[in-house]
Amino acid sequence: MTRIGLQSLTMAATLAAAGCGSGSSLSGPSGNEAYSFGTPTVGASGTVAVTIVDNSGNTINLTQTSTVLSINPDGSFVTLTEEPAGSVIVVDGTTWSTPPTTHTLNHFDQELSYFYTSATTGLVVNCAYDPHGLGPDGPLQVGQTWTLTFTAGCGTSTPITYTQTGSIVDVESVTVPAGTYMALKLQSTVTWTATDGGSRTETITNWRATNGLGSVKQEIAYAYGAPLPTTGYPVSRVIVLQ
């Protein structure tokens, strides 16, 4: 989905896009190996390449690095996501770069909140999820399914309600610039209604390394119902760990 301010960018390494919890259902067959993921280490860092194709067929290439800043007593953790200094990308009047963003995630890597400083106003923008962002609760296993409804909003804006349904379909080998990993393959669909009343759908395939590294690759497709956005918008996004 087009997350608030490009949101967690469905970051690899320390951020794994998945999520489930209050108001969600979870199931999975017995007999499959279950994978648990521990709390990351302070200072751990990962860089991803993000390739976006917009509605005009333009290709936008971004580089983003996420670093773990701190671990909270309850097991949640704080990360900082940054792009290289000075790498502001504007295509046909749409700015695709995002400011440094600080995220808080729980021990299942489900995002709880984030904040950034607006380049336009200079003010800090605080955003939050209820109960949390995308993805299934762990431990994870092939055959597991989940359904999640959550809200996301920034500042005093009216929160938007999102619904995600997904399943873990396989464990397979995936090769990215950072190396070759055995990974759980998660497939999900996210739907919501934008503030202009247009329907939105995001289809996500996410490969999450079984060694606990996090998401190493994601492929995302976007579909839009009328009215369409008035500025450039993504039709696909691929994110790979470098």
Fold of the domain spanning 4-241: YmcC-like fold (2.40.360)
For 12-21, 99-108, 206-215, which range has the lowest pLDDT when averaged over its residues? Answer: 12-21
Q: What is the arithmetic mean of pLDDT over 201-219?
A: 94
Model pLDDT, residue 15: 28
Banded model confidence at residue 2, pLDDT cuts 50, 70, 90: very low
Share of the chain above pLDDT 70, in %: 87
Cα→Cα distances 204→44, 89, 152, 174, 218, Å: 25, 24, 18, 16, 7
User: Which has more pLDDT, 179 or 17?
Assistant: 179
d(CA 94, CA 189) in angstroms, rounded, equals 26
Domain boundaries, the chain: 4-241
Give the tens place of pLDDT for each residue, 29-80. Answer: 444 789 988 788 999 999 999 999 999 999 999 999 999 999 999 999 999 9
Q: How far is CA 25 from CA 92, 165, 183, 186, 189, in A?
A: 42, 10, 23, 16, 15
Quick one: tokens of 118? Answer: 């607006």
- pLDDT at res. 242: 96
Encoded amino acid at 119, one letter: A
pLDDT at 8: 32
Environment class of 66 (CB within 10 Å of its CB; exposed 0-12, middle 13-18, buried 19+): buried
Tens of pLDDT, residues 84-140: 988 899 999 999 999 999 999 998 899 999 999 998 899 999 999 999 999 999 999
CA distance 28 to 20: 14
